[in-house]
Amino acid sequence: MAILFWLVILLICIFAEIHTQAFVALFVGVGAVIAFFLALAAVPFAVQSVVFVVVSGATVFALRPTVVRRFKRTSVVDLSVPAPSSLANLTGFVEDVVGDEGHPGRVKIKGETWKAVTQDSTPIPSGVQIVVKRAYGTTLWVERV
């Protein structure tokens, strides 16, 4: 039964690490692997549990900082600045009147509808062709062609 328990803990750790990438579940999983092998050797469950906690804690505190530094992003992304977009310079048509940020509209580009705003306060009526100047999240800044 202990073998199955440690396998379940290991699978949970793998799943958690894939989805969080925080490098904590990875090292908890290392503790589960050691405990799994102890269970195979018929070591009492209490000993398995203590070894699991000690190995998990030791690897988290000893190895995690190094791994985090190694895989840390080298560039800082400023989310307050619109990023370059593959939609920039594409053309489309206005579906719903597009105004400033307080009065967004909808545009259709390559068959997809997007929320759009203008950089100035001049609204762009429906049916007018537009060009995308920049994107921020799912909002496009557009101008008349």
Query: What CATH number does residue 110 fall under?
Result: 2.40.50.140
Q: For residue 22, what pLDDT band results from cuts at 50, 70 and 90?
A: confident
Residue indicated by tokens 């900082």: 65
pLDDT of residue 77: 62
Question: Which residues, at least 6 apart from 81, have a Cβ–Cβ distance to it below 8 Å?
Answer: none
Domain boundary residue, one of 24, 42, 71 = 71
Its domain, for residue 136, covers 91-144
Predicted pLDDT at 86: 81
**pLDDT for the residue numbered 98:** 96
Number of structural domains in the chain: 2
With a cut of 90, say whether residue 58 has pLDDT above it. yes
Partner residues linked to 95 by β-bridges: none
Nearest to 34 by CA among 17, 55, 16, 50: 55
pLDDT at 3 > cutoff 70: yes
**Is the pLDDT assigned to residue 78 strictly greater than 90?**
no
